A and B are shown apart, each in its own frame.
Chain A
Amino acid sequence: MRLIGFIIVCLTGAFLLYGTTELPDWGDPQSPASVHLSNHYIERAMEETQVPNLVTAVLADYRGFDTMFETAVIFCAGLACFLLLRDFRKEKERFYRHVPTGVILHFKDSKKKLPIGKEFQHMDKQWVPYDIIIQSVCRILIPFIQIYALYVVGHGDFSPGGGFQGGVIFGSSLILIAIAYDLKTLVTRIKEKVLGIFAAVGVLIYVGIGFICMLLGGNFLDYSKLAKIIPVDPGHIRALGMLGVEIGVGIAVMAVMAIIYINIVSEGKHDEGL
């Protein structure tokens, strides 16, 4: 059986390699991808949209409808993770740790609760002593990561980056909180409902900008019509519309990354995890 599998894999690989010989060379000016629309983008995008970064201009403006559904796909990924994994049954047992003495309290009754603070802290079965070095380094690093994420979102027009990358970086800073402290710290700082609302609001910002353009008499996602309500230089209105769309994408992606991580690592229980 293993031999048959190996032969099939080798044959498929050989066919794929054979197929690549028909593909155009990298950077070939005569390839089908470079002869039709690309020339228009490269020659006219700067004067049409005033956005120096061509990739953002194509993604958020010329193919904005496509990117809208990519954002919707990300949202659906988060939704699917939530629906598949989320487990609302409460954990019966609770563990608390008395910080000054290190004594562990085990409550079998879920109704009894202790105030969490300097004296008592939550514990779970995978509890490890907090590492002061990791915590301090993360405490210093996280704000810089978040500011960098905002920079990536805001400068998507001018430099590589945009909503997706910025959102992922911001989401990973939230994941870093969960790894450096514990999952409860993250879940108590950002509630699950807030993350869900953020994910939906991000997609709604994108769709909303599209519909505002329609209400102002243009096509869906035709940012030039926004000039009627936003008093800026009409040449830059498309860059501004793209920025709004990127912010929507960033918010949605950030929330979805956190939702997926929290649900996977805690098996949907949102209490203990990596």
Chain B
Amino acid sequence: MHWQIDLIVLTFVIFCAIAAISVKDLLATAILFGAYSFMMCLLWAVMGAVDVAFTEASVGAGVSTVFFVAAVFRTSRRTKD
């Protein structure tokens, strides 16, 4: 019934996941992980699991992105490999 929304969101999820492991800049990776979490949050909301979506939005897209950025702040910004 919601297959158009599902398709768009799933495409974005896969796009974010591939981009997150292929970019060299760790800060960009952190932000892409945030976007990935937000897309997963939309997916949970479409499936009707609102509590899980809420947790994903606050923990996955919110605080863990900040933790990643904080960790990147204390390391070098670009990967070596």
Name the A residues within 8 Å of B66 (CB-CB). Answer: 172, 175, 179, 261
Q: How far is the CA of A257 from the CA of B71 in the complex (A)?
A: 14
B6 nearest CB across to chain A (Å):
10
B15 lies within 8 A of chain A by Cβ = no
Tell me the A147-196 residues at the B interface (CB within 8 Å). 160-162, 164-165, 168-169, 171-172, 175, 179
- Knowing A161-B54, A164-B59, A165-B54, the reply to whether A274 touches B73 (Cβ < 8 A) is yes
Q: How far is the CA of A171 from the CA of B59 in the complex (A)?
A: 11
- Knowing A160-B54, A168-B63, the reply to whether A26 touches B70 (Cβ < 8 A) is no
Name the B residues within 8 Å of A162 (CB-CB). Answer: 51
Identity of the chain A residue whose Cβ is nearest the Cβ of B50 in the assembled complex = A160
B59's partner among A55, A168, A261, A267 (CB-CB below 8 A) is A168
- Classify chain B: how many residues form its interface, as a range: 10 to 19
Find out whether the CB atom of A171 lies under 8 angstroms from the CB atom of B51. no
Main secondary structure of the interface of B (DSSP, over half): helix
Q: How far is the CA of A171 from the CA of B63 in the complex (A)?
A: 8
> Which residue, B47, B55, B63, has most C-beta atoms of chain A within 10 A?
B63
A273 lies within 8 A of chain B by Cβ = yes
Find out whether the CB atom of B47 lies under 8 angstroms from the CB atom of A165. no
Q: How far is the CA of A257 from the CA of B70 in the complex (A)?
A: 13
- Knowing A265-B70, A274-B70, the reply to whether A172 touches B54 (Cβ < 8 A) is no
B69 lies within 8 A of chain A by Cβ = yes
Q: How far is the CA of A260 from the CA of B62 in the complex (A)?
A: 14
Find out whether the CB atom of B58 lies under 8 angstroms from the CB atom of A267. no
Tell me the A37-72 residues at the B interface (CB within 8 Å). 53, 55-56
30 A–B pairs (Cβ distance < 8 Å), ordered by A = A26-B47, A53-B51, A55-B51, A160-B50, A160-B53, A161-B51, A162-B51, A165-B54, A165-B55, A165-B58, A168-B58, A168-B63, A169-B62, A171-B63, A172-B58, A172-B62, A172-B66, A175-B63, A175-B66, A179-B66, A257-B63, A260-B67, A261-B63, A261-B70, A265-B70, A265-B73, A267-B74, A273-B70, A273-B73, A274-B73
